[in-house]
């Protein structure tokens, strides 16, 4: 792709690490980068590095970032010409995309009609089933709300309840005991409203020990579409990804071609444009369609590592109406990449989110290491947003080397001031099952007893307490002070 873009600035309607990642490409392309700003994280690096900021307000920080009307209005007042939604928040909201376009700005993503079709998990599932592609047995609430729970029970346990407008694993509930179905549905509905402003649900038969495999799609407005190979996203906790890699291990080349071709077929049928991801569940009986994310993925970084293609730059160029400059046969795969998501959470306490202030942040480096983060020294980490702090990507000629590089880089990473999952990620990547590539979405749960932080010996605990105490100026002053009685003795000697 080449040539000048028809817009000179881009509003990044997001926050955290993805806002900073998009900002860097926007500025590298010679465009002005504007970033949304809320008082809750006004000291974030993306806000500091932006060419301009647009403040949003709301009853809660998340509510402010979900207020599409406010964002569009303030973007217009600031002279914004294009809007990149990132991922999460309003990225798969068709009304927001439509409002951006109707206001005369460019939306960096698929058109609103495609988002409405594929971003709505219920509509997307029905659409894909109608094309003849495999989907899991399911029941959709809006088909007949009164009979939804009865139809769900008829599918038999185990079941997986999902929000119709959801993504990123949020608000999902596994039901193994049908007596818990009603309570689980109520919880999923509440969380769907919280995260997406939409409480509609659907339920499908849950596949035990499945793999989660997805395919990256890129298409322009001139009929050109390619896939950028598949990613393995099976290492998850609470239905949210923890470690992703590309290419997926333990797949034959025939299986890779088949799943990538099906993904392209689905995207072509949907007349998809821009970057998107088709996700599949892969089990003993083969694979079936899970959902399509009509946006950039958190894990797009591993695809960039193995292909050398900047997906954000490609998104901006496609949104500007430019053609893809490469065909499918031109896309090459180089080596293996693994991404570890660094969360502010306590893995030993059911991955509970943690808060604090970043006292010291030193990301690792070296050959083949990339770190995308949204934090720096002094940043506050609160409970208002998702606990994702950074992503560490290791790229190497083969999978074993990528795993070794990732573990080494995690050991070198310094994050003080807030509990994180960095140690957990190191232990996870050294599990024999992970090393062998025998992955499934329940692996972390099955192996959790061996993934917990090893207990410290009493001697090490005493040393750490002493170090912490001596780090306090008050304690040091007390330890170094001369008692008054001794000070009165002057130069007297016995």
Q: Mean pLDDT throughout 344-371? A: 95
Model pLDDT, residue 1: 47
pLDDT confidence tier of residue 490, bands split at 50, 70 and 90: low
pLDDT confidence tier of residue 2, bands split at 50, 70 and 90: very low
The H or E element containing residue 54 is strand 52-55
For the cut 80, the answer to whether the pLDDT of residue 482 exceeds it is no
**226-283 pLDDT, tens per residue?**
999 999 999 999 889 999 999 999 999 999 999 999 999 999 999 999 999 999 999 8
Q: Mean pLDDT throughout 388-414? A: 98
Is 271 in a helix, a strand, or coil? coil
* Nearest partner of 66 among 179, 184, 194, 250, judged by Cα: 194
Rounded Cα–Cα distance for residues 158 and 173 (Å): 10
Backbone angle region of 239, left / alpha / beta, with phi > 0 → left and psi within -120 to 50 → alpha = left
pLDDT confidence tier of residue 478, bands split at 50, 70 and 90: confident
In the CATH scheme, what architecture does the domain 137-205 have? 2-Layer Sandwich (3.30)
**110-153 pLDDT, tens per residue?**
999 999 999 888 889 889 999 999 888 888 888 888 899 999 99
For the cut 50, the answer to whether the pLDDT of residue 86 exceeds it is yes
Model pLDDT, residue 488: 67
Rounded Cα–Cα distance for residues 213 and 234 (Å): 7
Model pLDDT, residue 3: 59
Model pLDDT, residue 489: 67
Whether 9-108 and 211-451 share one fold: the answer is no
Q: Mean pLDDT throughout 1-14? A: 86
Q: Mean pLDDT throughout 324-331? A: 96
pLDDT confidence tier of residue 174, bands split at 50, 70 and 90: confident
Q: Are 264 and 299 within 8 A, CB to CB? A: no
Give the rounded distance of the alpha carbon of 465 from its chain centre: 36
For the cut 70, the answer to whether the pLDDT of residue 396 exceeds it is yes
Model pLDDT, residue 487: 64
Rounded Cα–Cα distance for residues 324 and 318 (Å): 7
DSSP letter, residue 118: I
Model pLDDT, residue 233: 98
Model pLDDT, residue 486: 67
For the cut 70, the answer to whether the pLDDT of residue 169 exceeds it is no
- Please report which residue ranges of 111-215 form alpha helices under DSSP H: 112-114, 121-130, 148-154, 181-196
Model pLDDT, residue 433: 96
Q: What is the pTM of this model?
A: 0.86
Model pLDDT, residue 444: 97
Find out if CATH 3.40.50.300 is the number for domain 9-108. Answer: no
For the cut 60, the answer to whether the pLDDT of residue 206 exceeds it is yes
What integer best gives the mean pLDDT of the chain? 92
| Cα dist from 356 to 153, 344, 360, 380, 381, whole Å | 43, 9, 12, 6, 5
Domain limits of the chain?
A: 9-108, 137-205, 211-451
Model pLDDT, residue 119: 83
**278-304 pLDDT, tens per residue?**
999 998 878 999 999 999 999 999 999
pLDDT confidence tier of residue 168, bands split at 50, 70 and 90: low
Rounded Cα–Cα distance for residues 278 and 266 (Å): 8
For the cut 90, the answer to whether the pLDDT of residue 194 exceeds it is no
For the cut 50, the answer to whether the pLDDT of residue 42 exceeds it is yes
Q: Mean pLDDT throughout 153-169? A: 81
**243-252 pLDDT, tens per residue?**
999 999 999 9
Indicate the CATH number for domain 211-451. Answer: 3.30.470.20
Q: Mean pLDDT throughout 456-477? A: 79
């Amino acid at each position: 792709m080449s040539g000048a873009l028809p817009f000179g600035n881009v509003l990044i309607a997001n926050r955290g690490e993805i806002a900073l990642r998009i900002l860097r490409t926007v500025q590298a392309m010679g465009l002005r980068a504007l970033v949304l700003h809320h008082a809750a994280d006004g000291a974030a690096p993306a806000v500091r590095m932006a060419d301009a900021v647009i403040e949003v307000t709301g009853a809660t920080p998340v509510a402010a970032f979900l207020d599409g009307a406010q964002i569009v209005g303030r973007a217009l007042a600031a002279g914004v010409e294009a809007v990149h939604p990132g991922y999460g928040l309003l990225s798969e909201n068709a009304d927001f995309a439509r409002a951006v376009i109707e206001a005369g700005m460019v939306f960096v993503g698929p058109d609103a009609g495609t988002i409405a079709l594929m971003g709505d998990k219920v509509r997307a599932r029905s659409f894909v089933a109608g094309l003849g592609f495999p989907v899991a047995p399911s029941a959709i609430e809006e088909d007949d709300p009164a009979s939804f729970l009865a139809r769900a029970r008829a599918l038999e346990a185990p079941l997986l309840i999902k929000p119709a407008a959801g993504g990123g694993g949020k608000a999902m509930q596994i039901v193994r005991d049908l007596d818990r179905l009603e309570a689980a549905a109520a919880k999923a509905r509440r969380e769907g409203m919280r995260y997406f402003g939409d409480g509609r649900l659907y339920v499908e038969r849950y596949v035990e020990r499945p793999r989660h495999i997805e395919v990256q799609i890129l298409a322009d407005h001139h009929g050109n579409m390619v896939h950028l190979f598949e990613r393995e996203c099976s290492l998850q906790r609470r239905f949210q990804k923890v470690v992703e890699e590309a290419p997926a291990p333990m797949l034959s080349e025939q299986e890779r071609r088949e799943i990538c071709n099906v993904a392209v077929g689905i995207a072509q049928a949907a007349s998809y444009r821009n970057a998107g991801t088709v996700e599949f569940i892969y089990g003993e009986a083969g694979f079936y369609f899970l959902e399509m994310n009509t946006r950039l993925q958190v894990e797009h970084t591993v695809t960039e590592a193995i292909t050398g293609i900047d997906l954000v730059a490609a998104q901006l160029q496609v949104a500007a109406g430019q053609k893809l400059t490469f065909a499918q046969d031109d896309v090459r795969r180089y080596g293996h990449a693994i991404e570890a998501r660094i969360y502010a959470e306590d893995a030993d306490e059911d991955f509970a989110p943690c808060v604090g202030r970043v006292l010291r942040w030193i990301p690792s480096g070296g050959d083949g290491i990339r770190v995308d983060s949204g934090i720096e020294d002094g940043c506050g980490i609160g409970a208002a947003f998702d606990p994702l702090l950074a992503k560490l990507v290791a790229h190497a000629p083969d999978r074993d080397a990528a795993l070794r590089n990732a573990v080494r880089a995690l050991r070198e990473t310094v994050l003080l001031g807030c509990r994180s999952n960095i140690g957990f990620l190191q232990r996870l990547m050294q599990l024999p099952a992970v090393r062998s590539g025998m992955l499934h979405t329940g692996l972390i749960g099955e192996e959790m007893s061996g993934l917990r932080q090893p207990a410290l010996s009493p001697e090490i605990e005493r040393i750490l307490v002493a170090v912490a105490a001596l780090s306090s100026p008050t304690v040091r002053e007390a330890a170094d002070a001369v008692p008054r009685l001794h000070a009165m003795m002057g130069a007297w000697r016995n």
